[in-house]
Amino acid sequence: MYIYLRVARVLAGVLYKPKLGLDDTSELRLRVWPGDIDTYPEMNNGRYWTIMDLGRYDLAARTGLMQMARRNRWLFVVAGGSIRYRRRLPPFSRFLLRTSLAGHDGRWFYFVQEFVRRGQIAAQALVRAGLRTEKELVPSETILDAFGRKGWSPPLPEWIQAWIEAEDARPGI
């Protein structure tokens, strides 16, 4: 089941938090609930992906990107990602979800998301995402121009560039 109540809580909380810029990091303090765990018991690997939506929603809402997307009738889309799991998140444990925008490649935006428990990274993910109309992907420069950040283009770290190249080399898709 999708985490609609958590989404509502995050979006309502935006009203009481300071605005963020594209270079800032969103931080959400969260907890592992019984619906998040698997039979081992720890947070289910698929639930990490769902929880990461919350971080991107928070960042998009606090930067104003979500409001701009609504005005333009653009839809958010995730096009891929990779995650590394390093430490367990047991039931009821508290953790910090950090979300930052690493940059873009002209087509896609790249988000780095980290689950941190007791000062240690439990998991880290790279997410490729963008905005689209009902028919096509909106180029990142068009989004940045509408957002008032034309020319914003921090260099993507080498490891993200290597991931992009590996994804582009995949056969069949």
Split into its structural domains, the chain has a count of 1
With bands split at pLDDT 50, 70 and 90, how would you rate the model's confidence at 172? confident
Side-chain half-sphere of 83: how many Cα atoms within 13 Å? 19
> For 63-109, how does the pLDDT look when each residue is reduced to its tens digit (9 = 90+)?
999 999 999 999 999 999 999 999 999 999 999 999 999 999 999 99
Asked, for residue 173, whether it belongs to a domain, the answer is no
Q: What is the pLDDT of residues 111-165, one digit of tens each?
A: 999 999 999 999 999 999 999 999 999 999 999 998 889 999 999 999 999 999 9
Domain that residue 128 falls in: 4-168
Has residue 105 been placed in a domain?
A: yes
CATH number at residue 51: 3.10.129.10
* pTM attached to this predicted model: 0.94
Segment (H or E) for 117 = strand 109-117
User: Distance between CA 136 and CA 133 in Å, rounded?
Assistant: 5
